[in-house]
């Protein structure tokens, strides 16, 4: 009985410490959070960790106890009076808990997150959505705003630049092809559209058009926080590490002014 009591006390203490660590560290899992989707990702990660920590502590303590408390001493060839090969209650309880936990994870966050993702595509949830056409090619990004008639937006240095209004849902329309060559504009490779601060990424495959929804929640830019950058997350050739672009999240008024300036530059 003392072993069981010690095990239980250690399990409770280390589980509580683990839950405390998750509570402190959980919000920093993405380092910088700037979208509602990233918040959902952090919440899902926190939930999984909170459930798994007591199980992890239990397994580790079992291994430690097996190596210390039940280790045969040197020269001892006798069998322990408390030794047994099976314990039907323990096995049944462990299998039952395992099945319940796996089924729970299947429902949440897996199924619940999938449903939330599918709901983003419903027309009633896409009112006033900002559409941004994203073109990926070796090794460059192109950003177009079809609702405003603006193509290939750039910064003051002429580099591709992505600007978004805060708290407005964005629909990224993703394609992979080479618009600079007329022989076959569909020829390119697989890329991956990733903005770390948004907590989402999507592969971009030649011949396919994919969409990704993001709602920015923090006004910031790449200069102040490198996590807000457009980065290719799929190895696409020797220029892959440098396939990135600066981005900015601004107020609605600043975004409208930027669009007007882009139109002016485009027509000049």
pLDDT digits (tens, 9 = 90+) for 93-148: 989 999 999 999 988 888 888 888 888 888 887 888 999 999 999 889 999 999 99
Task: Note whether residue 22 is domain-resident.
Answer: yes
Same domain membership, residue 155 and residue 229? yes
Task: Note whether residue 213 is domain-resident.
Answer: yes
Q: What is the pLDDT of residue 184?
A: 64
Domain assignment of residue 142, given as a range = 128-267
Same domain membership, residue 208 and residue 140? yes
- What does the pLDDT look like over 89-104, one tens digit per residue? 888 998 999 999 999 9
Same domain membership, residue 132 and residue 251? yes
Query: CB-side exposure of 193: number of CA atoms within 13 Å?
Result: 27
Same domain membership, residue 138 and residue 21? no
Same domain membership, residue 133 and residue 255? yes
Task: Note whether residue 76 is domain-resident.
Answer: no
Say whether pTM exceeds 0.85: no
Domains contained in the chain, number:
2
Highest mean pLDDT among 12-26, 62-76, 181-195, 250-264: 250-264
Task: Note whether residue 229 is domain-resident.
Answer: yes
Task: Note whether residue 188 is domain-resident.
Answer: yes
Nearest in space to 139 (alpha carbons), one of 245, 240, 247 = 240
Q: Give the pLDDT mean for 175-202.
A: 82
Q: Strands 244-250 and 220-221, how do they pair?
A: antiparallel
DSSP bridge pairs for 130: 170
Same domain membership, residue 154 and residue 42? no
Q: What is the distance between the alpha carbons of residues 106 and 110, in angstroms, rounded to a whole number?
A: 5
């Amino acid at each position: 009985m003392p072993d069981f009591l010690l095990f239980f006390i250690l399990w409770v203490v280390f589980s509580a410490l683990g839950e405390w660590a998750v509570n402190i560290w959980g919000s920093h899992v993405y380092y910088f959070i700037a979208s509602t989707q990233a918040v959902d990702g952090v919440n899902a990660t926190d939930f999984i960790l909170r459930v798994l920590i007591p199980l992890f502590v239990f397994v580790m303590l079992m291994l430690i106890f097996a190596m210390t408390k039940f280790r045969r001493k040197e020269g001892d060839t006798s069998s322990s009076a408390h030794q047994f090969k099976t314990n039907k209650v323990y096995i049944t309880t462990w299998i039952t808990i395992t099945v319940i936990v796996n089924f729970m994870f299947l429902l949440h966050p897996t199924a619940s997150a999938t449903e939330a993702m599918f709901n983003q595509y419903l027309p009633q949830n896409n009112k006033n959505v900002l559409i941004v056409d994203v073109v990926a090619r070796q090794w460059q990004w192109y950003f177009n705003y079809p609702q405003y008639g603006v193509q290939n937006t750039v910064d003051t240095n002429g580099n591709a630049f992505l600007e978004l209004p805060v708290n407005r849902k964005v629909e990224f329309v993703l394609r992979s092809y080479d618009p600079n060559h007329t022989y076959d504009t569909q020829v390119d490779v697989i890329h991956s559209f990733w903005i770390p601060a948004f907590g989402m990424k999507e592969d971009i495959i030649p011949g396919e058009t994919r969409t990704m929804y993001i709602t920015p929640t923090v006004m910031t830019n790449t200069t102040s926080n490198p996590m807000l950058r457009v980065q290719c997350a799929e190895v696409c050739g020797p220029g892959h590490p440098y396939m990135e672009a600066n981005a900015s999240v601004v107020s609605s008024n600043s975004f409208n002014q930027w669009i007007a300036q882009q139109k002016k530059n485009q027509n000049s």
